[in-house]
Amino acid sequence: MREKGELSKEPLSRLPEPEVMAAALDKIREKSQKLTWDYVKNHGSEGHFNIPDPGVVSRAFLALGEELIKDPKPMLTAQAHIWADSLALWQKTALRMMGLEVKSVVADPPRDKRFQDEDWANNVLFDFIKQSYLLTSRQIQNMVADVDGLDEQTAKKLDFYTRLFVESMAPSNFVTSNPQIYNETLQTGGGNLINGLANLLDDLEQGKGMLRVRMTDLEKFSPGKNVAATPGKVVYQNELMQLIQYTPTTDQVFKRPLLIFPPWINKYYILDLRSKNSFIKWAVDQGFTVFIMSWINPDETLANKKFEDYMLEGPIAALDAIEKATGESEVNAVGYCIGGTLLSCTLAWLSVSDKKQSIKSATLFTTMLDYTEVGELSVYLDEEQIELVEKHMAAKGYLEGTYMAQAFNLLRANDLHWSFVVNNYLLGKEPFPFDLLYWNSDSTRMPAKMHSFYLRNFYQYNRLKDPGGITLAGTPIDLGSVKTPIYFLSTHDDHIAPWRSTYAGTRLFSGPVKFVLGGSGHIAGVINPASSNKYGYRTNTTIPNDPEEWLKGAKSHEGSWWPDWFNWVKGKAGTKVKAREPGEGKLPIIEDAPGSYVKIRI
């Protein structure tokens, strides 16, 4: 039993059995040879596309070097601070080694999970390593931030990529400088590293020669069984989506159906993970006739599908189908992330169309409409990088979902990359089964033409906020023409759609808007069931121009925002009618939910 702060002194005596070791090494050797051949075959002739692109990163740091040559003051200042901090750390470490209680030179970053093992604080050596890293990384980032003369986009890139660099060099990512891995290696005789190498090779094999770090056990989940399992039927389908109608759980339902626009960057079942945190099941239980569009995972045959096709073959086709299924021409709608952007575009398009179907209320989850400030995603969105994406998509017909997932994961690299590297490869453990991370790993492709339109017209040129800035199906659209009541939900810690940026979208509509700010982030803040009593949310009866003014006047509430939304939408849902079973209307049942489209994996 180790004393507090004492490293394991157990020698490497618990070596695996020779037969076990030999079998493991044979498997590793065989798999390594296959991976080498697969990599040469798949990537040797055509090159490979990366997010981020190494050339883009190197040019940004070249610009940094040029500015530091012109004015070395930021570098000299950083060096002076590092020297002073290091001296203070040495002095306090010496005092601590003599048994004295001393205060740390630098505090652990808040909510940083890398240094949770007690030896990071209790053992003098590892505490010294940790503090040295934190002090040095802080000064490196400060130096980069203090350099003048860089254009805004290059400065953003440098800040982002510098953070990625210092995060990659954290002592928690290495065997000999992480006490948890060090002790695990001694206790298992290095068995953790053998297991970790096997896990690494498995992930390389899964990624066809490129490293795709597993976040969860992909074999533990299956759509229709333990995720995406709310009962329902597919009642309509076309090239881009299947429309699912869910089986009612109440004798009566609201007259006006609820149509959900999920994002097509991932699968729809983020809203239907398990029964206890399924927004879809909860909405069905509240008495809604719920429909959702399950988007196809497109391949090269759909390369020419445009953004307007996602509108026409998505919600516009769904509205027609819902009227045939229920007899109702009016729906309430919910859109999540890019699904919310599509919902807003659909509202604007319908406002000037001659269609008889309509959307009577709209709920937008973490939705960008004004792309003036898009947070750290902007580091991927200059002309050079968009051209690289378009060149890659032109050759393949689509953008692989794994690249999108990688780009998003790097925004929170410690939580969504390095923690799994440590667990899988250094500790040699299997990733923990987690439904949310399974969904996060189940990414989808983007058709080339649609994705190019989206990147340029929304993110790069920010045309959606301008009246007539975007034309869909021959019709210039204007969000200002939308008078539909809107419930606008954003989340405080969202790293994909920052809430202050989404708040700007509330000013674009001419109808009544209610803005609600949930706790947590892009996923957990939305998938926050009424029974969880977590995170809380804020409301304000006014929509001032300044988001900080909104926040200052907002009222805090405990628990989930779901009941608040229900109280808002039920007044727009009509009277109660007899519950509708899928297949009772004019649309025959095609197959059971969750349908076949959601099961198409990359």
Range 460-472 average pLDDT: 97
- The pLDDT value given to residue 402: 85
pLDDT surpassing 90 at residue 16: no
Q: What's the average model confidence in pLDDT over 162-187?
A: 93
Treating both helix axes as pointing N-terminal to C-terminal, what angle do 179-188 and 191-206 enclose, rounded to 10 degrees?
A: 110
Q: Coil, helix or strand for 411? A: coil
Report the sign of the C-alpha dihedral through residues 497, 502, 508, 510, in that order. Answer: positive
Q: Where are the domains of the chain?
A: 232-374+450-599
362 versus 194: the higher-pLDDT residue is: 362
Query: Hunting for tokens 């489209």 — which residue is that?
Result: 597
Q: Is the pLDDT of residue 602 over 80?
A: no
Q: Which residues have C-beta within 8 Å of that of residue 289, sequence separation ≥ 6?
A: 245, 246, 248, 253, 254, 257, 258, 326, 579, 580
Mean pLDDT of the chain: 91
Strand partners, 592: 233
Contact predicate 514/568, CB 8 Å: yes
For 54-79, write each residue's pLDDT tens digit.
888 889 999 999 999 999 999 999 99
| Confidence class for position 52, pLDDT limits 50, 70, 90 | confident
Is residue 600 pLDDT above 60, yes or no? yes
Structure tokens at 169: 């060099």
d(CA 220, CA 337): 27
pLDDT number for residue 32 = 60
What does the pLDDT read at residue 11? 47
- Please tell me whether the overall predicted TM-score, pTM, comes out greater than 0.75 for this model: yes
pLDDT of residue 204: 82
CA atoms within a 13 Å half-sphere pointing along the CA-CB vector of 579: 15
CA distance 220 to 218: 6
Joined together, the tokens standing for residue 534 give 């977590």
Tell me how far apart the terminal alpha carbons of the chain are, to the nearest angstrom.
47
590 and 236 in contact (C-beta within 8 Å)? yes
Asked if pLDDT for residue 46 goes beyond 50, the answer is no
- 152-168 helix and 124-146 helix, angle to the nearest 10 degrees: 170
Band of residue 7 on the pLDDT scale cut at 50, 70, 90: low
- Kindly indicate the confidence band of residue 5, based on its pLDDT and cuts at 50, 70 and 90: low
234 phi and psi angles, rounded to 5 deg: -80, 120
Question: Tokens standing for 334?
Answer: 């919910």
Question: For residue range 27-37, what is the model confidence (pLDDT) as tens digits?
Answer: 665 656 555 55
Q: Which residues are catalytic?
A: 337
Q: Which phi and psi (to 5°) does residue 292 adopt?
A: -140, 145
Hey, is 361 helix, strand or coil?
strand
pLDDT at res. 44: 46
Ranking 164-178, 209-223, 378-392 by mean pLDDT, the lowest is: 209-223
**Lowest mean pLDDT segment, chosen from 100-114, 277-291, 469-483:** 100-114
Q: Once rounded to an integer, what is the mean pLDDT over residues 484-512?
A: 96
Mean pLDDT, rounded, for 178-188: 92
**CATH number for the domain running over 232-374+450-599:** 3.40.50.1820
Q: Choose among 294, 246, 279: nearest CA to 524.
A: 279
